[in-house]
């Protein structure tokens, strides 16, 4: 385990205001441990013994994880409200927008390669008439669509 923690792992990205209140810092200097314990007790329901078992490194990572959690939850709420408003103002007959989109399934490269090989062999043998059949079955005009020829 390295002695120094990379700052990128533990620095707040969203909660730092950049401005340091010198008066507050001076007043809080003698109460640093009490303020720190109050934070852990209020936000995580830690007892005094739970708090005292934490190492400074663990406290630092907990602070960063807490920031990440707050940002993630507020972003989710923002997206949900935005989605709800967009859906309530959608045009008549238009589909609802889903809040969550499923992650696309990964494709086995060997299967994809074999499928492409089969398609190319069929196209060499029979031509590309199968594409027109698909468009026709769907009620579309195959000549008006751009194809990857």
pLDDT digits (tens, 9 = 90+) for 45-63: 999 999 999 999 999 999 9
* The predicted structure's pLDDT at residue 85: 94
For 9-149, strand residue ranges (E) read none
Q: Residue 9: enclosing H or E segment and its boundaries?
A: helix 7-10
**What is the residue-averaged pLDDT of the chain?**
85
In which band, very low, low, confident or very high, does the pLDDT at 88 lie, cut at 50, 70 and 90? very high
Q: Is the CB of residue 135 less than 8 Å from the CB of residue 145?
A: yes
Residue 3 phi/psi, 5° resolution? -75, -45
* The predicted structure's pLDDT at residue 1: 53
* The predicted structure's pLDDT at residue 72: 94
In which band, very low, low, confident or very high, does the pLDDT at 122 lie, cut at 50, 70 and 90? confident
* pTM passes above 0.95: no
Q: Is the CB of residue 71 less than 8 Å from the CB of residue 14?
A: yes
Burial classification of residue 10, based on how many CB atoms lie within 10 Å of its CB (0-12 exposed, 13-18 middle, 19 or more buried): middle
Measured between alpha carbons, how far is 129 from 147 in angstroms, rounded to an integer?
13
Does residue 109 register a pLDDT over 80? yes
* The predicted structure's pLDDT at residue 44: 92
pLDDT top residue among 142 and 145: 142
CA 143 from centre of chain: 40
């Amino acid at each position: 385990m390295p002695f120094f923690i990379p700052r990128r792992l533990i620095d707040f990205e969203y909660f730092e205001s950049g401005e340091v209140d010198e008066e507050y810092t001076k007043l809080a200097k003698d109460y640093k441990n009490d303020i720190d314990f109050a934070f852990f007790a209020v936000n995580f329901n830690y007892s005094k013994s739970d708090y005292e078992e934490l190492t400074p490194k663990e406290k630092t990572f907990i602070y960063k994880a807490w920031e990440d959690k707050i940002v993630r939850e507020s972003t989710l709420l923002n997206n949900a409200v935005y989605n709800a408003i967009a859906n309530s103002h959608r045009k008549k007959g238009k589909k609802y927008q889903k809040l969550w989109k499923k992650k696309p399934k990964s494709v086995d490269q060997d299967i994809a390669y074999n499928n492409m090989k089969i398609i190319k062999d069929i196209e060499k043998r029979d031509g590309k008439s199968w594409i027109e059949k698909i468009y026709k079955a769907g009620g579309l005009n195959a000549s008006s669509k751009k194809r990857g020829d």
